[in-house]
Amino acid sequence: MLIRFKSNIAGQFIMMGDVALPLLRLAGLSGNTQGAVSGDDLHTALQTLEGALQHMRAVPEDAHDDESDNEPPVAINRRAMPLLEMLQKAKAAEGYVMWQPD
């Protein structure tokens, strides 16, 4: 499943649901496939997500067990960047962020 994020300030992007939904939960949001955040809730979600990602940076990631795959896994902090940037821009301009299945 794909999740499309939209903002009146920061445009839109699409993220895989298996990445997007856990990020929404890390932000303290519902983790549902459809929703929106603005105002004080946007500020809180941004702070919560930044704090969770900061904590995750301090904890080493598990070793990659699948030796047949030569590609290292992409860290959640890197995958979160588009959402973080969108939330930051929306907060700065007092906008909103919406998401829904695509």
**Is 29 within a domain?**
yes
**Is 25 within a domain?**
yes
**pLDDT on residue 19:** 95
Cα separation, 83 vs 102, whole angstroms: 16
> Do residues 50 and 27 touch, judged by C-beta distance below 8 A?
no
**Is 63 within a domain?**
no
**Is 12 within a domain?**
yes
**pLDDT on residue 63:** 46
> Do residues 90 and 11 touch, judged by C-beta distance below 8 A?
no
Structural domain of 22: 2-58+75-101
pLDDT above 90 for 3: yes
> Do residues 49 and 97 touch, judged by C-beta distance below 8 A?
no
The total number of structural domains that make up the chain = 1
Tens digits of per-residue pLDDT, 27-45?
999 889 999 999 999 999 9
**pLDDT on residue 70:** 72
Tens digits of per-residue pLDDT, 45-84?
999 999 999 988 766 555 445 555 677 788 889 999 999 9
